[in-house]
């Protein structure tokens, strides 16, 4: 163990002297990531406000004779109603932001108490057109309620007869659970990317990097055994990855607790609170992943002929991790038990459950066991490669 500690200390000193390590381990997750996320959030919020304040034009079918509909639409702020012989053509030519097609004789059909179908035309590729569509649909809904009430009154029936049953939404999830869900959507992905960024540079540097610098021979002729040297190097790589995870978790937690700036309108009315125990559990769940990624990259670094080749291979691993991390963002259905046995995804799902206040020991065990077994396999491969001089010193 003494030899392991000596190698670990040596590798950590070298890592901390490398500006790239500090950038990927601390500066990027703690400063650059939050700045980028805040910038994107601010831009999205500004875009949303701009769309809501932009005046939209709705083309109403000419000759519709639905004065009440026109009045309802015109009552909406920032909405102008124009008559059109062809609302769809006006939307395509951008003369109108959205259009309403009205069937011939609609006014007479309504007077007879018959149903009328109005078609809202919009351009799905334009956000402002989708906004105009929503305003038009809301206006048609109000017009429909007003028309129905009038028809009932004319027939001697109470106007409320059309609204005997109404629905009201009530979210059964507690405020802390809602907050955990919002944080659980993004944090596992960010921690996964943080681990990958934190371990890559160090893992390649302590293996193929030492080959390029011709310092590996000096380390191997020391009194430490090959296994002790590899374990010391592995612990240093895992440490850099874990520090990157801590930096990412800290920056995200501070932003989240500071008012949910990441989530815009979704976070309104939600108490921005998360259990320290849950956040600690989320960080600890990243340790097996850090060990797994570190061992895989070190095995690739041992096999690589040069640091350049090792960095190229590391890019492929990072691409796999990015795709796996993206799956954690889009996975919104109820996870099956088998999902927790999928590398990266299982850990992310377990982290999400902890943030939402759910504790399922079997899910945690499956997620940790999957990453741990794969990590042991990767460490075994790395040890074998590190102990094989034909691999470590093969011709470039």
Highest mean pLDDT among 257-261, 320-324, 326-330, 378-382: 378-382
In this prediction, residues 23-32 reach a mean pLDDT of: 81
For position 266, what pLDDT does the model report? 45
Q: What is the mean pLDDT of residues 355-374?
A: 91
Residue, of 289 and 179, whose pLDDT is higher: 289
Mean pLDDT of 125-136: 94
- Residues 170-205: tens digit of each pLDDT: 888 777 787 778 788 888 888 888 888 889 888 998
What does the pLDDT look like over 60-81, one tens digit per residue? 998 877 888 999 999 988 999 9
pLDDT band at 240 (very low <50, low <70, confident <90, very high): very high
Tens digit of each residue's pLDDT (9 = 90 or more) over 350-360: 998 898 888 89
pLDDT at 141 over 70: yes
Give span(s): CATH 3.40.190, the chain. 55-163
What percent of the chain has a predicted confidence (pLDDT) above 90?
Answer: 30
| Cα distances (angstroms) measured from residue 283 to each of 50, 123, 247, 274, 344 | 38, 44, 10, 13, 14
Residue 99 exposed, middle or buried by CB count within 10 Å (0-12, 13-18, 19+): buried
Neighbours of 39 (CB within 10 A): 10
β pairing state of 119-122 and 79-84? unpaired
Residue of higher predicted confidence among 146 and 64: 146
Q: What is the CA radius of gyration of the chain?
A: 30
Binning pLDDT at 50, 70 and 90, where does residue 265 land? very low
pLDDT: is 219 or 356 the higher one? 356
Residue 224 scores a pLDDT above 60: yes
Q: Which residue has the tokens 């996975």?
A: 331
Given a cut of 70, is residue 30 above it in pLDDT? Answer: yes
pLDDT at residue 264, rounded to an integer: 46
pLDDT in tens, 326-359: 777 776 677 888 889 988 889 989 998 898 888 8
**CATH class, range 55-163:** alpha beta
Q: How far apart are CA 281 and CA 277, in angstroms?
A: 6
- Taking residues 94-100, report their average pLDDT: 95
Q: How far does Cα 289 stand from its chain's mean position?
A: 18
pLDDT of residue 395: 57
Q: How many CB atoms lie within 10 A of CB 175?
A: 13
């Amino acid at each position: 163990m003494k030899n392991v500690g000596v190698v670990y200390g040596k590798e950590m000193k070298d890592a901390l002297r490398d500006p790239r390590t500090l950038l990927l381990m601390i500066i990027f997750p703690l400063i650059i990531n939050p700045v980028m996320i805040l910038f994107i959030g601010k831009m999205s919020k500004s875009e949303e406000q701009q769309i809501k304040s932009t005046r939209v034009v709705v083309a109403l079918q000419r000759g519709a004779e639905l004065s009440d509909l026109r009045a309802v639409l015109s009552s909406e702020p920032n909405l102008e109603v124009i008559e059109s012989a062809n609302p769809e053509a006006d939307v395509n030519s951008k003369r109108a932001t959205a259009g309403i097609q009205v069937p011939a004789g609609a006014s007479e059909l309504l007077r007879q108490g018959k149903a009328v179908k109005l078609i809202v035309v919009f351009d799905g590729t334009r956000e402002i057109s989708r906004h105009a569509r929503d305003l038009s649909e809301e206006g048609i809904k109000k017009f429909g309620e007003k028309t129905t009430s009038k028809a009932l009154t004319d027939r001697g029936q109470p106007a409320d007869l059309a609204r005997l049953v109404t629905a009201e939404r009530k979210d059964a999830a507690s405020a802390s659970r809602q907050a955990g869900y919002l944080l659980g959507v993004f944090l596992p992905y960010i921690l996964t990317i943080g681990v990958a960024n934190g371990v890559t540079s160090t893992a390649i540097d302590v293996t193929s990097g030492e080959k390029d610098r011709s310092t590996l021979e000096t380390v191997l002729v020391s009194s430490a055994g090959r296994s002790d040297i590899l374990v010391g190097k592995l612990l240093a790589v895992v440490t850099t990855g874990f520090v990157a995870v801590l930096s990412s978790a800290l920056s995200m937690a501070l932003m989240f607790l500071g008012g949910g700036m990441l989530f815009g309108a979704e976070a309104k009315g939600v108490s921005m609170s998360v259990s320290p125990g849950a956040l600690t559990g989320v960080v600890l769940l990243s340790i097996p992943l850090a060990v797994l990624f570190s061992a895989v990259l070190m095995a690739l670094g041992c096999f690589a002929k040069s640091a350049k080749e090792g960095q190229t291979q590391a890019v492929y691993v990072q691409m796999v991790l990015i795709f796996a991390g993206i799956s954690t963002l889009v996975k919104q259905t109820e996870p099956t038990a088998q999902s927790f046995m999928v590398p990266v995804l299982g850990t992310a799902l377990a982290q999400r459950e902890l943030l939402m206040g759910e504790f399922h020991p079997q899910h945690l065990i499956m997620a940790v066991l999957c990453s741990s077994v794969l990590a042991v396999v990767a460490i075994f491969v790395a040890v074998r490669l590190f102990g094989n001089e034909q691999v470590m010193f093969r011709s470039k």
